[in-house]
Protein backbone atom coordinates (compact mmCIF):
# COMPACT_ATOMS: atom_id res chain seq x y z
CA UNK A 1 0.00 0.00 0.00
CA UNK A 2 1.23 3.46 -0.89
CA UNK A 3 0.47 5.62 2.16
CA UNK A 4 0.73 8.90 0.26
CA UNK A 5 -1.64 7.77 -2.50
CA UNK A 6 -4.06 6.45 0.11
CA UNK A 7 -3.98 9.71 2.09
CA UNK A 8 -4.47 11.87 -1.01
CA UNK A 9 -7.34 9.68 -2.18
CA UNK A 10 -9.11 10.00 1.19
CA UNK A 11 -8.61 13.77 1.21
CA UNK A 12 -10.01 14.03 -2.33
CA UNK A 13 -13.07 12.00 -1.34
CA UNK A 14 -13.67 14.09 1.80
CA UNK A 15 -13.27 17.35 -0.13
CA UNK A 16 -15.81 16.18 -2.72
CA UNK A 17 -18.26 15.10 -0.03
CA UNK A 18 -17.80 18.35 1.89
CA UNK A 19 -18.20 20.68 -1.06
CA UNK A 20 -21.15 18.83 -2.58
CA UNK A 21 -22.89 18.41 0.78
CA UNK A 22 -22.55 22.10 1.55
CA UNK A 23 -23.95 23.00 -1.87
CA UNK A 24 -26.95 20.69 -1.42
CA UNK A 25 -27.70 22.07 2.06
CA UNK A 26 -27.42 25.67 0.85
CA UNK A 27 -29.81 24.96 -2.03
CA UNK A 28 -32.31 23.26 0.27
CA UNK A 29 -32.22 26.18 2.72
CA UNK A 30 -32.58 28.73 -0.09
CA UNK A 31 -35.58 26.85 -1.51
CA UNK A 32 -37.21 26.58 1.92
CA UNK A 33 -36.66 30.30 2.53
CA UNK A 34 -38.10 31.18 -0.88
CA UNK A 35 -41.15 29.02 -0.19
CA UNK A 36 -41.44 30.61 3.25
CA UNK A 37 -41.32 27.14 4.76
CA UNK A 38 -38.70 28.34 7.24
CA UNK A 39 -37.95 31.73 8.80
CA UNK A 40 -34.17 31.61 8.65
CA UNK A 41 -33.35 31.29 12.33
CA UNK A 42 -33.96 27.56 12.74
CA UNK A 43 -31.62 24.75 13.66
CA UNK A 44 -31.67 21.43 11.86
CA UNK A 45 -30.52 18.01 12.95
CA UNK A 46 -28.33 16.59 10.19
CA UNK A 47 -27.08 13.03 9.78
CA UNK A 48 -24.72 11.33 7.38
CA UNK A 49 -23.65 7.74 6.87
CA UNK A 50 -20.27 6.66 5.57
CA UNK A 51 -20.29 3.19 4.08
CA UNK A 52 -17.54 1.15 2.49
CA UNK A 53 -19.11 -2.29 2.11
CA UNK A 54 -15.85 -3.96 1.05
CA UNK A 55 -14.34 -2.99 4.42
CA UNK A 56 -17.43 -3.61 6.50
CA UNK A 57 -17.46 0.11 7.40
CA UNK A 58 -20.79 1.71 8.28
CA UNK A 59 -20.43 4.82 10.42
CA UNK A 60 -23.14 7.30 11.37
CA UNK A 61 -22.45 11.00 12.03
CA UNK A 62 -24.86 13.60 13.34
CA UNK A 63 -24.75 17.26 14.21
CA UNK A 64 -26.83 20.41 14.23
CA UNK A 65 -26.85 23.05 11.52
CA UNK A 66 -27.83 26.47 12.85
CA UNK A 67 -29.12 29.22 10.58
CA UNK A 68 -28.67 31.80 13.29
Tens of each residue's pLDDT in the chain, 68 residues: 999 999 999 999 999 999 999 999 999 999 999 999 999 999 999 999 999 999 999 999 999 999 99
Answer yes or no: are the C-beta atoms of 50 and 59 closer than 8 Å: yes
* Total structural domains within the chain: 1
What's this model's pTM, rounded to 2 decimal places? 0.87
pLDDT of 5 reads 98
Instruction: Indicate if the alpha-carbon torsion angle 53, 56, 57, 59 is positive or negative.
Output: positive
> CA nearest 2: which of 22, 20, 10?
10
Domain that holds residue 43: 3-66
pLDDT of 3 reads 97
Amino acid sequence: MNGETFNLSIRKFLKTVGVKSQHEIEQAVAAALAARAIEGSESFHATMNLKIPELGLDVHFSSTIDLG
